[in-house]
Amino acid sequence: MYSFMKLTHLFFLVLLFVCFSGLTQAQTEKFEPQSGMVELSKRKVILKVGQKAYYQGIMHGSVGIGIVVNIKDEEILKYIDKHFAYHRVQVEGMTGGDKATQTYIFEALKKGKTKMIFQEVMRGEILKKHTIKIIVKKSY
């Protein structure tokens, strides 16, 4: 009989497989931030309503490395898109070598404060946790 932890790990691995199964070798282009985008790399970030921000992390599906994102108040800051870029061109029959940079893109919706939590995970275990305080101000 499977324990809860084993089922959680199995679910996470299946989720990683589903996320990576539709990717093609064309997805090696690096992310280029648009003008005015803010990188979420500090503990506290100030944005204006309508401004976009991004966070980048490493994914490595074949070994179970990924990122979990949690936004405390999605009425203030909303996840809108992601960009995925392999570090190496993928070829049919290739094993491993699927390390990639995952970029999460967000948009500030309204004035307020929220927190974002980014967890770097490996096979369901949290390796690192980053908390970023987001302050959204009115745009003028």
Q: Which residue has the higher pLDDT, 134 or 29?
A: 134
Percent of the chain predicted with pLDDT > 70: 76
Task: Indicate which CATH number applies to the domain containing 117.
Answer: 2.60.40.2020
Q: For position 1, what pLDDT does the model report?
A: 46
Question: Which residue range is the domain that position 118 belongs to?
Answer: 4-137
* Total number of domains constituting the chain: 1
Nearest CA-CA partner of 70 in 129, 135, 24: 129
Provide mean pLDDT across the span 52-66: 88
Which residues, 6+ apart, have CB-to-CB distance to 81 below 8 Å? 105
- Mean predicted lDDT score pLDDT of the chain: 82
pLDDT computed for residue 24 by the predictor: 44
Q: Shortest CA distance to 29 belongs to which of 85, 83, 91, 99?
A: 85
Is 90 exceeded by the pLDDT of residue 84? no
Global pTM?
A: 0.73
pLDDT given for residue 71 in this prediction? 96
